[in-house]
């Protein structure tokens, strides 16, 4: 059932997402041409100003495109589950977990794709002779450089860990919106207002816990006298792995709590009226 829900979720969201991505990448091509034109010394001031505006528009398009993706994903959850469309979705022969998971997986994938599109967008815009040479250097070092097998394995592992972290982080961010909406829409009146209030309450709690954790760590670091020898001897790669996995663990814990909040509220306090 989850597979079917995912199929329909990607169809429903994909028809809008591709338009945004193509528009962003199209703007990047225009920005690239503007960058190249700006290098011409003989360019009249008026035309130069016009190209500056184009570049400004390109910068804004990255923010607007990214924001549009987030807004669309949040709106999709709201419209498809918490308004009239919810009468169909919640009477499908599947569990609340499947409904939530389908929305979450699709949203996390689209957010991750958006990150890739933004990277691609910037790369296209600044692509030129120098950028090509820089890429050549990077790839030359990665594939033909004087790198040990251990370094290569660590590099690949760190990249994979970052990708997983990115996906989990995207899912946790989505769940903060979802849980706030699920709680807010359990009320009889002012559902949207309650959703916004609960989003900020969650945000406040997360910031508070994050701040307290950092303060405790700093305090511990300042007061610790006997640092174990194994900590002093860890390599840079091990420190990277430990750091990424720690952040990943925190994101998983936050995501789990928010997921439970979402699922329980959709199951026990659903109020489509």
User: Which tokens go with 172?
Assistant: 């946790």
| The only residue of 87, 143, 144, 230 in contact with another protein, by rule CB under 8 A | 87
Residue given tokens 């400004």 in the structure block: 56
Site string for another protein, 132-171 (x = CB under 8 A): ----------------------------------------
| The only residue of 80, 114, 173, 195 in contact with another protein, by rule CB under 8 A | 80
Of 92 and 156, CB closest to another protein: 92
Helices 236-268 & 149-184 angle (0-180, nearest 10) = 20
Site for another protein in 190-249 (CB under 8 A): none
What is the distance between the alpha carbons of residues 62 and 119, in angstroms, rounded to a whole number?
Answer: 10
Site string for another protein, 21-60 (x = CB under 8 A): ----------------------------------------
Instruction: With CB under 8 A as the rule, give the number of residues binding another protein.
Output: 24
- CB neighbour list of residue 120: distance below 8 Å, 6 or more residues apart: 25, 28
- CB neighbour list of residue 30: distance below 8 Å, 6 or more residues apart: 54, 58
Site for another protein in 111-130 (CB under 8 A): none
Residue 259: closest CA among 153, 182, 192: 182
Q: Can you give the binding site for another protein, defined by CB under 8 A? A: 1, 4, 7-8, 12, 15, 80, 84-88, 90-95, 188, 268-272
């Amino acid at each position: 059932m989850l597979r079917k829900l995912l199929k329909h979720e990607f169809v429903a969201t994909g028809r809008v997402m591709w338009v945004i991505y193509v528009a962003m990448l199209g703007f990047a091509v225009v920005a690239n041409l503007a960058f190249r034109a700006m290098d011409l010394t003989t360019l009249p001031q008026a035309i130069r100003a016009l190209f500056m505006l184009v570049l400004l528009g390109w910068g804004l398009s990255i923010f607007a495109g990214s924001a549009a993706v987030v807004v669309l994903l949040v709106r999709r959850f709201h419209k498809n589950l918490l308004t009239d469309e919810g009468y169909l979705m919640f009477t499908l022969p599947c569990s609340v977990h499947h409904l939530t998971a389908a929305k979450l997986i699709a949203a996390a994938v689209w957010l991750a794709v958006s990150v890739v599109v933004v990277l691609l967008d910037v790369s296209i815009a600044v692509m030129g002779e120098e950028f090509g040479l820089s890429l050549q250097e990077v790839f030359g070092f990665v594939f033909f450089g004087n790198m040990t097998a251990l370094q290569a394995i660590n590099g690949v592992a760190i990249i994979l860990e970052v990708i997983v972290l990115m996906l989990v982080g995207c899912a946790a961010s989505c769940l903060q919106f979802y849980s706030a909406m699920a709680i807010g829409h359990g009320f009889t009146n002012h559902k949207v207002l309650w959703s916004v209030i609960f989003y900020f309450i969650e945000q406040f709690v997360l910031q508070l816990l994050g701040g307290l954790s950092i303060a405790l760590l700093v305090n511990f670091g300042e007061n610790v006298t006997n640092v174990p020898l194994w900590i002093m001897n860890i390599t840079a790669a091990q420190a990277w792995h430990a750091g990424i996995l720690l952040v990943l663990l925190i994101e998983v814990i936050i995501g789990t709590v928010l997921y439970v909040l979402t699922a329980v509220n959709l199951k026990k306090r659903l109020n489509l009226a």
